[in-house]
Amino acid sequence: MYFYIFILILLILVINKYLITKNFLISMTGDVHQKFTSNSKVPLTGGIFIFFAYLFFFSQDISIFFLATFIILILGFFSDLQFIKSATTRFLLQTFLILIFVIFMDIKLNETRVIILDQFITNSMINYFFVTFCILILLNGSNFIDGLNTLNIGYYLLISIILYYLTHYQNLDLKYLPTEYLVLILTCMFFLNMKNKIYLGDSGSYLLGFSFAVFLIEIYNSNLNISPFFIILLVWYPCYENLFSIIRKRLLKRSPMSPDTNHFHQLIFFMIKKRYKTKSFFANLAAAQIINFYHIIIFSISVNFIRNTEIQVALILLNVFIYTIIYFKAFFFKHNKRISR
């Protein structure tokens, strides 16, 4: 196992060096979002690393899953390379492709424990559309939170650690999911990303969001004794970031698809950098680790009550409340505004 990881890292580093010399598939220096990470040229090869890791360590019985992740990876590359500049076009392609994959892979939710919703999803097509909607929310939410080194990768690393714990200590059926490999893969990526050796890019963010959405749906369907709200809690941050961003942009009469620098993690970065007058590198790491450390606490609590819906819902509502309060405080701090009383 460790030998394959070593070979994979070596392969990616060689590919990265080649891409830098060709100035191809690298982060855009001078881009408005680049100031949060590094102004150097960094290859957007995180998706390649993850995809090859899946090929190395996952069961070959899930060939449709590999095909789906490969096409999602290619779609992300088209976005990274600016071949698809329109966010609306990207979203429509995402929706179409994911719906096709969901139908072919027959991914359904057995139940949600929301009575009205459960009545609707008894219809197979409605179920497919609902699952597609859920995957889209996580896929794009993963892209939204991919603005600081180690934030996105670190978040999914935490989820992987939780899944590893549930597999080995709570005897959950995780089917084909080798959680120990997931933890190892994302740990390696965490440190490569911290050192600005690799970025996820849209391809990596899409791939992480899509694959983990599929993993978590299958995990829940195989373990209906756990609360579905525990699964929601695990991915609440990217999902809420996505939904919150759409709402705030609509309130500002802007397109939900338009990029900006007012995401939660970016505001935390600005607050740390301005208040403590620190360099971008340290503000980046501090903001990312503060957010991830908060989730270590939340996940550590939730994992002890995986069958208790009331506690999981309470934790989700607590997260939403804390996020919203901190968001507005950081927003007004950045823009030097005060809430009038």
For residue 224, the model assigns a pLDDT of 82
Asked, for residue 73, whether it belongs to a domain, the answer is yes
Res 295: pLDDT: 98
Angle at 211 between CA 13 and CA 155, to 5 degrees: 70
Phi, psi of 315 (to 5 degrees): -65, -40
Residue 31 located in a structural domain: no
Cβ(173)–Cβ(16) below 8 Å: no
Total structural domains within the chain: 1
> Hunting for tokens 């705030």 — which residue is that?
248
206 burial level (CB within 10 Å; 0-12, 13-18, 19+): buried
At 339 the pLDDT is 43
Quick check: is 129 in a domain?
yes
Q: Return the pLDDT at 239.
A: 97
Ramachandran class of 254: left when φ > 0, alpha when ψ lies in -120 to 50, beta otherwise: beta
User: 13 in a domain, yes or no?
Assistant: yes
In a domain, 219, yes or no: yes
Residue 108 placed within a domain: yes
Contact between 219 and 231 under an 8 Å Cβ cutoff? The reply is yes
pLDDT of residue 30: 47
pLDDT given at position 248: 93
pTM of the shown model:
0.93
Distance CA 44, CA 201 (A): 5
pLDDT at 39: 61
| 8 Å CB contact between 169 and 267 | no
**pLDDT tens-digit profile, the chain (341 residues):** 677 788 888 999 999 999 999 888 988 654 555 555 566 789 999 999 999 998 888 766 667 888 999 999 999 999 999 899 888 999 999 999 999 999 999 999 999 999 999 999 999 999 999 999 999 999 999 999 999 999 999 999 999 999 999 988 887 877 667 888 899 999 999 999 998 899 999 999 999 999 999 999 999 998 889 999 999 999 999 999 999 999 999 998 888 877 888 999 999 999 999 999 988 889 999 999 999 999 999 999 999 999 999 999 999 999 999 999 999 999 999 887 544 43
pLDDT confidence of residue 173: 75
**What does the DSSP assignment read for 45-76?**
-HHHHHHHHHHHHS-TT-HHHHHHHHHHHHHH
What is d(CA 75, CA 50) in angstroms, rounded to the nearest whole number?
15
What is the per-residue pLDDT for 340? 41
Tell me if 32 is assigned to some domain. no
Its domain, for residue 77, covers 2-22+38-334
Task: Give phi and psi for 198, each to the nearest 5.
Answer: -155, 140
Residue 237 lies in a domain: yes
